Each structure stands twice: as structure tokens, then as C-alpha cells.
Amino acid sequence: MTTITEARVIVTSPGRNYVTLKITTSDGVVGWGDATLNGRELAVAAYMTDHVCPLLVGRDPARIEDTWQLLYRGAYWRRGPVTMTAIAAVDMALWDIKGKVAGLPVYQLLGGAARNGVLVYCHASGSDVPALLDDVARHLDQGFLAVRAQASVPGLEGTYGVPAPDGLLYEPASAALPAEHLWDTGPYLRFAPEMLGAVRERFGFGFHLLHDVHHRLSPIEAGRLGHDLEPHRLFWLEDPTPAEDQSAFRVIRQHTTTPLAVGEVFNSIWDCQQLITERLIDYIRTSVTHAGGITHLRRIFSLADLYGVRTGSHGPGDLSPVAMAAALHVDMSVPNFGIQEYMGHRDPAGEVFRTTYTFADGYMHPGDAPGLGVDVDEDAAVHFPYDPRQLPVNRRLDGSVHDW
Ligand code: GCO
Ligand code: MG
């Protein structure tokens, strides 16, 4: 019988931190999984190295579901970002191996292509509205059919979604202590409809427009914002309120027809059960890395399909290209696909991660290489040592902590 002979964790920082799991079989087949939990990377690395990898050696790599159940139920302590990210990495690596053994891209093992390509949305942002409009123009020129728009709220430094002056990253701030951003809900609620209205006024309605609130409003504030945004016909309004309060969405729903998306911080189907079964959202944003891998993501998406909820997986640059590839294979195959976030990866990530996925005319495709279609250059990875980073925190004008 073929067995797993080695499971090893690679922590590397080519441009930003990524945690990667490498599983090798007795036949010499290698599978890759992403285990990156932004700002808490080493917790997942330790969980895998100390508690998961020793369980894998000697097991049959073909038994993906059984391994998932073993790691989930067998730990007794269930769910949570660290555990579910570790399980996800194992799951992705085993699907990668299964695809390589079969000589097929993973999406073929998931039922084959249910569409020709995966609609993706990009990020456009600016320190003010004119800068945002320039950035939207740039992305539309690149062929994107869906654009997320974010701009700095006047008077509030470090608004979420707007890059720092280096222009490259907007969440990892400092090595030691988190950066502190200022937050004031009133100005944001006045500014957001103006800003998104300016985008529609300049570019019209011939593309999908999205916006991320990043969990900052109360339910009634979110209801008002959704209502104020209705003339701008958003594809979705993302994370309007802190996501763990599922019944809050009942209040939002009573006040607006703007479509709602949530779920990038969810780890399991239980985190979104009420949101889906009560049809309180339109898009479920769980990611392949933070919600238990391909196996569990498909389970969530199947539940969502039953209730008319479509998919919109999280795809930020803080998930590695291994995750992006895995997400695309799922996106290709599920019936209720909606859209996929694609933030891209900045150099030198490409020196470590080699991918086969492509983008053209607004759509991505995972490629047809066997498995996930990703390779990791371990020799290159050692040149980019771990670089400790913290996500920022938000404080209100009175100094109290607000959701970031
Ligand atoms: C998004 C997200 C990200 C998160 C990041 C945190 O919609 O892409 O909100 O930008 O902030 O993934 O690590
Ligand atoms: Mg988001």
C-alpha cells in the first residue's frame, strides 16, 4: 500500500509570510497545502508540526475524507482558525496527490468543469476619490469585469483597504506592536455612498462593483448603508457587521435589498448554518485555507446551494498561491459559484510558488496540470525567512477598541 512517508511544514516570507505543508508518499508523489493564517502563522505551523504531521506518516494518502474526519473529530477540540487551517492544508495536499496519481487536474475529480472560467474580482483603492477612480480605470483596462472599490475616509488615517505609502500591502503593519488606526462610523457612512456613486458616475453600470465594510457597523447602521447604496447596484456589500453574530443579518435584511456577503473569518459550516438556512446572505465567502480545505468548503457550498446562496471565496494576498489554485478548482466545479476574489501575489512570491492558473478577460482558469497545478521551490523558500507581522487594530475617537 502507498503510504505517507513525510509531512513537513515550510514557513517562508517571499514578500509576506506563508505557511506551506508538504506531504510526500512512498511512491515519491508530493502534495502541497496552504496553512497561512495572517498574523498568527507560527501557531498553525506548531499545531501541524507537533500534533498533525506525526499522525499522517504511515497513512494511506488516498483516504482524504477519513483523514479529514480523523483530524476534526479525533482532536476532540473542534473548529477554530488554527485547527481548521491545519486540517485544510492536509486536505489540499491530499487532493493534490490524488490528482497527480490520477493524472488529472483536481477540478476533474470534483465533477469536472461546470463553467468555462472563474469570474474574479480585483481590488481598486485610493487615498481619495480621484486616486480611486484612476485605479478602477487601470483595473478595467486590464480586463477585470468585477472591481472592489475602497478609499480613505477623509480625516481617518489608515482606512481599511487602502495601501500604505509603499503601495503594496494594507494590513501587515509593524513587526512588534500592531499599528493603530482611527475609526469613526459617522463620516464613513456619509462617505461610502458618495465614493461608490462617483465610481458608477464615471464608469457606468457595465461591470460588477463590490465594497468591503470589514465588520465595522452595527446591524442598523449596516441596514442604512445598504439602503443608501441601492442606487449604485452593488454586486455585494461585504462583511457589514462582525461576522460571528449571525442573527444580526436579520436586521440588515429588513432594511435593504443590497446583496450581502460574509464569511472570510469563518472556519466551519456551523459558523454559517443560520446565515445560509435563513437565507440571510447572498454570497458565502469561506476560504479553502481557513474553512477546512477542499473537502469542507464543498460541504459548505453544497448547503449554500440548497438555499440559493452563491459562493464568493476569500482570495487575499495573505493566502498563498497554493490556496488560490485550490480555490479555482473548487470554483470550476460547484454549481452555485458566484465570484472569486483575486488580489494577486507580489514578487518575490513567484520565486517560491510556481503556478499554472491563468487570467484573461475577467476570468481565471486553474490550468490542466495534474493535481492543483502548483509547485513550491524549497531552495528558494529558505532565502525568505519568517518576518513577524501584526494586523492593525482600530480605535474610536475616544480611544476604545473597535473592530478592524
Ligand atoms: C478581503 C479581506 C482581507 C483581510 C485579510 C486579513 O476581503 O480580502 O478583508 O483583505 O483583511 O485577509 O488577513
Ligand atoms: Mg474582506
Query: Cell for 118?
Result: 472563474
Catalytic residues: 160, 214
Q: pLDDT-based confidence at 163, cuts 50/70/90?
A: confident
Q: How far is the CA of 239 from the centre of ligand 2 (A)?
A: 7
94 and 140 assigned to the same domain: no
Residue 164 pLDDT more than 70?
no
Q: How far is the CA of 244 from the centre of ligand 2 (A)?
A: 14
Residue 403 lies in a domain: no
236 and 317 assigned to the same domain: yes
194 and 85 assigned to the same domain: no
User: Which ligand has the shortest distance to the CA of 323?
Assistant: 1
Instruction: Quick: pLDDT tens for 305-360.
Output: 999 999 999 999 999 999 999 999 999 999 999 999 999 998 899 999 999 999 99
78 and 199 assigned to the same domain: no
> Which of 66, 90, 105 marks a domain boundary?
105
Residue 317 lies in a domain: yes
Q: Using a 6 Å cutoff on CB, does residue 318 contact ligand 1? A: yes
Instruction: Quick: pLDDT tens for 51-89.
Output: 999 999 999 999 999 999 999 999 999 999 999 999 999
CA dist., res. 184 & res. 181, Å (int): 10
Mean pLDDT of the chain: 96
The ligand 1 atom nearest the CA atom of 148: 7
252 and 167 assigned to the same domain: yes
Q: pLDDT-based confidence at 147, cuts 50/70/90?
A: very high
Residue 172 lies in a domain: yes
Q: Are residues 68 and 87 in contact, defined by beta-carbon separation less than 8 angstroms?
A: yes
Residue 174 pLDDT more than 70?
no
Structural domain for 363, as ranges: 109-369
Q: Which of 214, 313, 346 to mutate to test the pocket of ligand 1 (most atoms within 8 A of CB)?
A: 214
98 and 126 assigned to the same domain: no
Helices 64-73, 293-306: inter-axial angle, 10-degree rounding: 90
99 and 119 assigned to the same domain: no
Instruction: Quick: pLDDT tens for 194-240.
Output: 999 999 999 999 999 999 999 999 999 999 999 999 999 999 999 99
Q: Using a 6 Å cutoff on CB, does residue 38 contact ligand 1? A: yes
> Which of 72, 105, 138 marks a domain boundary?
105
Q: pTM to 2 decimals?
A: 0.97
Q: How far is the CA of 316 from the centre of ligand 1 (A)?
A: 6
Q: Using a 6 Å cutoff on CB, does residue 212 contact ligand 1? A: yes
The ligand 1 atom nearest the CA atom of 212: 7
pLDDT at site 176 = 74
Q: pLDDT-based confidence at 160, cuts 50/70/90?
A: confident
Taking CA atoms, 131 is separated from 126, 146, 191, in Å, by 5, 18, 15
227 and 322 assigned to the same domain: yes
Q: Which residue has the higher pLDDT, 161 or 57?
A: 57
Percent residues over pLDDT 90 in the chain = 92
75 and 215 assigned to the same domain: no
User: Which residues, 6 or more positions from 278, have their beta carbon under 8 angstroms from its beta carbon?
Assistant: 249, 250
Residue 294 lies in a domain: yes
Residue nearest to atom 3 of ligand 1 (CA): 316
227 and 365 assigned to the same domain: yes
Residue 217 lies in a domain: yes
Instruction: Quick: pLDDT tens for 270-303.
Output: 999 999 999 999 999 999 999 999 999 999 999 9
Residue 386 lies in a domain: no
86 and 169 assigned to the same domain: no
Closest CA to 62 of 100, 34, 32: 100
Q: Using a 6 Å cutoff on CB, does residue 341 contact ligand 1? A: yes
pLDDT at site 179 = 86
Residue 400 pLDDT more than 70?
yes
Residue 169 pLDDT more than 60?
no
pLDDT at site 177 = 84
46 and 176 assigned to the same domain: no
Which CATH number is 204's domain given? 3.20.20.120
Residue nearest to atom 6 of ligand 1 (CA): 38
> Which of 105, 133, 152 marks a domain boundary?
105
In the block, residue with C-alpha cell 469585469: 145
Q: How many domains, the chain?
A: 2
pLDDT at site 22 = 99
Burial of 206 (0-12, 13-18, 19+ CB in 10 A): exposed
Q: Are strands 118-126 and 340-341 parallel, antiparallel or unpaired?
A: parallel
**150-164, 272-286, 383-397: which range is least confident on average?**
150-164
Residue 395 lies in a domain: no
Residue 232 lies in a domain: yes
